[in-house]
Amino acid sequence: MSILIDENTRLIVQGITGRDGSFHTQKMLEYGTKVVAGVTPGKGGQSVHGVPVFNSVKEAKKMTEANAAAIYVPAPFAKAAMLEDIDAGIELIVCITEGIPVLDMVGIKHRLKGTSIHLNGPNCPGLISPGKSKVGILPGHIHRPGSIGVVSRSGTLTYEVVYNLTMSGIGQSSCVGLGGDPIIGMRFIDILKLFEADRDTKGVVLVGEIGGEDEQQAAQFISSSMKKPVVGFIAGKTAPAGKRMGHAGAIISSGDTTAETKIKVLRAAGVEVVDSPDEIPARIQQKLK
């Protein structure tokens, strides 16, 4: 199995006629993702890589029975794109767009309350269920099907971790890049719950970083509710306090948000935290014995 997406996912690409939307639509199609529609207001009736373009998400969903959406629109229009998905009842929204104003995301989080809609991102690489479907910008060729779930706050570290797993002969059930903004949709705890419930995921790799308290919340869930082994890595050990390091969410605001504190809390919860990503394959293999 897998989480969130599989071979039955039917995807809408918002911003499909733009440079990034068009490029990644082609890559998703090549991987085998069922991209059934694109949406660009005012350009309905066109097609991109053989994918029909509609003027609205509501129209696209009605005509194609899509259940997921990937957003590649510019930041000023991303809030409207997400609201359109929510209003249409799209089950999974993957927002790749970066630079979305914080207040826009406050409004989106409020609208999501009380719904069963999953939001991945914004400012994320998306997710992949190897051999089945990928939504976003993750490089499909470095993944292989298997039983290890991967969840990460860092896009590039996700790629490094997955590459090391694959080169060690360890496949993945699903890989999820959460995004680096202060306000995002799904967080560690949401993905960990899904991996714990997925019968074909045997272990989990968690990649965290400085800033925020997501790792602490994840540690509480792992300690109280997870039976599957978790191996972790926390980036940012040498980051100075108060300085943004790549992500808007990766800022040390207090002693509780440093890499050292996160490592300590995760280890106390039973997580095997490694010092380098290339140590992950050997550690997860040991955990599964």
HSE (side-chain half, CA atoms, 13 Å) at 79:
15
The secondary structure element, H or E, covering residue 88 is helix 75-88
Side-chain-side CA neighbours of residue 118 (13 Å): 20
Cα–Cα distance, 196 to 179 (Å, whole number): 21
Give every CB contact of residue 103 below 8 A, 6+ residues apart in sequence.
none
Considering the candidates 24, 118, 143, 247, report the single residue annotated as catalytic. Answer: 247
End-to-end CA distance of the chain: 21
Q: Which helix (H) or strand (E) holds 50?
A: none
Burial (0-12, 13-18, 19+ Cβ within 10 Å), 61: buried
Is 49 assigned a catalytic role? no
- At 167 the three-state DSSP class reads helix
Q: Is the peptide bond before 101 cis (omega within 30 degrees of 0)?
A: no
Tokens 């996912």 appear where? 9
Query: Which of the residues are catalytic?
Result: 247
